Chains A and B, each alone.
Chain A
Amino acid sequence: MIGLVLRRAGGGALVVWLVASAVFVCYFAVPHDVARLIAGKQASERTVAAVRARLELDRPVAVQYLHFMGRLARGDLGVSFVTQDSVRAVIVRDLPVTASLALGAAALWLSAGLLAGVVAATRPRSRLDRAITTVALFFYSMPPFLLGQLLLFFCFYRLYLAGVELFPPGSYVPLTESPLQWARFLALPWLTIALANGATYARLTRSAMLDAFGEDYIRTARSKGISERRVVLRHALRSSLAPIVTQFGIDLGTLLGGAIVTEVVFGLPGLGREVVQAITRQDLPVIIGVTIFGSALVVTANVAVDLCYALLDPRLRRR
């Protein structure tokens, strides 16, 4: 098991290194005048020269690469051109917002999606099953920016005009400051992500459960005289977890790197909105920093998924 952890972690580190190298190639090795790109078209020759000197762009690419990787290894992601904040501080500042959004939404979509999937699978082709499948398809097909706008319009704007302040206007409040305000402000963003993702999980759970119900060991379980509830939850659902865990790991990892659309729609100061701003401002260190951080999260999530497999399935636990 320890061997497995080390192997997977090593593989993950390799992927992050490759992503970082790709980012380096994209931004530092391919453009013929990186300093001009960073400084902007209007910048004077002096500014460009200053940028070039400060970022060591006049040194050979190989040296730049080694320095880039060295800083990365120490966790130094550079300094924002625009705000002069260290990129690491930016990430540390924004991550709690994105994490609040992602984890809260994940709890919602996982519970709702699993429940809907199990209910649908235990009554295949019933009205309830068809209703769940249709609703799931509806949210599955709806782009998140539209869903977010609709929720804002109906649940915030119209309610607000009607004098119901269920969801407060204003901005994000940290959990540590006021848990209630935190949850109230995040409710609609959570719902936006959870509805879209929950649909995927409902479909995934339903089909995995239906597969499981066809297995011989489910017939055995029923022949033992255990309750149907136990057959469904302990036997069928247990076998259906692997694809769900896979999807969940990938979704959560991606989301933690920034839920771009939802954050922008709801004005949440998270990593996603940060990177959008950085792109419009050509703030290269922030773009690079958040990209590498996001990829590290996705990789970590995948490693975690692999390890979960081994926990979930004894057949994969060699040694």
Chain B
Amino acid sequence: MPAPAAAGVRLLDVRDLAVSFRTPDGIVEAVRGLSFGLDPGRTLGLVGESGSGKSVATAALVGLAPGAQVTGLALYLGRDLLTLPAEELRAVRGRGVAMIFQSPMTSLHPLYPVGWQIVEMIRAHEPVPTRQARARAIELLGHVGIPRAERRVDDYPHQYSGGMLQRAMIAMAIALRPRILVADEPTTALDVSVQAQILRLLAGLQRELGMAMILITHDLGVAAETADEMLVMYAGRALEQATTPDLFARPSHPYTRALLRSRPRLDAAVARLTPVPGQPPSLIALPAGCPFRPRCAEAVERCAKTPPLVAIGGDEGHDAACWLVGEGTA
């Protein structure tokens, strides 16, 4: 676990977060025992396959996982978001913790102009006249690179391209200068050339506003470029947690290593990728032990017991949840 940047209260301190859903088939344990911290200006990359619980974990923090049972602690500037009264939590949403999502084409309301939606965001938190909020919306749109923002502000989402919509989403998200921006797969639905632009825009805004960012992605490349620290999730659990350079230099958990092997590389001579064999497990009635055990090539008998997330030998702030790593055999 990386050391706190400053003494005293952290911006976000999540401890032992668990999220579960009651379904007709049984209880789905979407997230279990997740702990992480976040400091201003830093970026945490939450990495994992689809269904690994990375989105639902962050949504649950601000009460946006409908029907979920959430336990644990999520201290935002010392206040536990999970026990905050609804009205106070609402004030945190948008203002303290803003979000952008995977599919910009469906994330804005199709029946309202883009500017209207930004104005609504501003006016939900600040008692400013519409005219003033609109001027800010235009300014924000211009700031995120929408050309002729004063004219595009009244356009509807369908008149924007995908990349422009994500820019507009970002403009809305930063409208109130949030302390934390949750970017949930912000580039997945975009063209590769646009992806780089959006990531650059986010990085620039982060520097400018000093906000912290949680970047949710399944793309290790995206995480490598953007995140200071990374948290590798699998089946709702953290399997490995480290600073980004550390994780790439010394991937310790077999799952992390498998993920890295499955990545396309330009410098490798082989054309074929090595996929992670098998499927992620069902999150209903997950058996005890390491969740990756059924797919792990290195699994041994001890893996039937759940390995704790512990510091691996020698490295400061590099944790992994694997018996083999704990023994220093990695």
Chain A interface residues (CB < 8 Å from chain B):
215-217, 219-228, 230, 234-235, 238-239, 312-315
CB distance from B220 to the nearest CB of A (A): 25
6 residue pairs A–B, Cβ–Cβ below 8 Å? A217-B107, A220-B107, A220-B169, A225-B91, A226-B94, A238-B112
Cβ distance A312 to chain B, nearest Cβ, rounded Å: 7
Measured CB to CB, the closest approach of chain B to A231, in angstroms, equals 10
Is there contact, CB below 8 Å, between B62 and A223? yes
The 7 closest A-B pairs by CB, nearest first: A225-B94, A225-B93, A216-B106, A223-B99, A314-B156, A226-B124, A217-B109
Q: Is the beta-carbon distance between A225 and B111 smaller than 8 angstroms?
A: no
Contact, CB under 8 Å: B94 / A224: yes
What 0/1 readout, one digit per residue, does chain B (125-139) give for beta carbons within 8 Å of chain A? 100000000000000
Contact A227 B109 (CB under 8 A): no
Q: Which residues of chain B from 93 to 131 have any CB-CB distance to chain A below 8 Å in the complex?
A: 93-95, 98-99, 101, 103, 106-113, 120-121, 124-125
Instruction: Give Cα A313 to B110, complex, Å.
Output: 8
Q: Are B110 and A217 in contact (CB under 8 A)?
A: yes
Tell me the complex Cα distance, A227–B64, Å: 13
Task: A221 to B91: give the CA distance in the assembly, Å.
Answer: 13
Within 8 Å CB of B111, what residues of A?
A: 238-239, 312-314
Q: Is the interface of B mostly helix, strand, loop or mixed?
A: helix
CB distance from B94 to the nearest CB of A (A): 3
CB B283 to nearest CB in A, in angstroms, measures 20
Which B residues from 6 to 34 make CB contacts under 8 A with A?
none
Q: Tell me if A's interface is mostly helix, strand, loop or mixed.
A: helix
How many chain B residues touch A (Cβ–Cβ < 8 Å)?
29
* Set of chain B residues within 8 Å of A223, measured between Cβ atoms: 62, 64, 93-94, 98-99
Asked if B106 and A215 make an inter-chain contact with CB atoms under 8 angstroms apart, the answer reads yes
* Distance A170 CA – B289 CA, assembled complex (angstroms): 81
Residue of A whose beta carbon sits closest to that of B120 = A226
Is B94 a contact of A314 with CB atoms below 8 Å? no
CB distance from B237 to the nearest CB of A (A): 24
CB neighbours (8 Å) of B310 from chain A are none
The one of B59, B95, B106, B158 that contacts A225, using a Cβ cutoff of 8 Å? B95
Please tell me if the beta carbons of A219 and B108 are within 8 angstroms of each other in the complex.
no
Is the C-beta of B92 less than 8 angstroms from some C-beta in chain A?
yes
Does chain A have a CB within 8 A of B172? yes
Interface contact A239-B156, CB-CB below 8 Å: no
* Residue of B106, B109, B121 with highest tally of chain A CB at under 10 A: B109
Tell me whether B124 and A222 are in contact (CB under 8 A).
Answer: no
A224 touches B93 (CB 8 A): yes
Chain A residues with Cβ below 8 Å from B90 are 225-228
Q: Mark B238-281, 1 if CB is under 8 A from A, else 0.
A: 00000000000000000000000000000000000000000000
Asked if A314 contacts B158 (CB within 8 A), the reply is yes
Q: How far is the CA of A315 from the CA of B93 in the complex (A)?
A: 30
Check A221/B109 contact, CB under 8 A, given A227-B124, A314-B158.
Answer: yes
Which residues on B sit within 8 Å (CB–CB) of A219? Answer: 59, 64, 101, 107
B113: which A residues are within 8 A, CB to CB?
314
Q: Are B93 and A222 in contact (CB under 8 A)?
A: yes
Q: Could you say which residues of chain B place their CB within 8 Å of the CB of A217?
A: 106-110
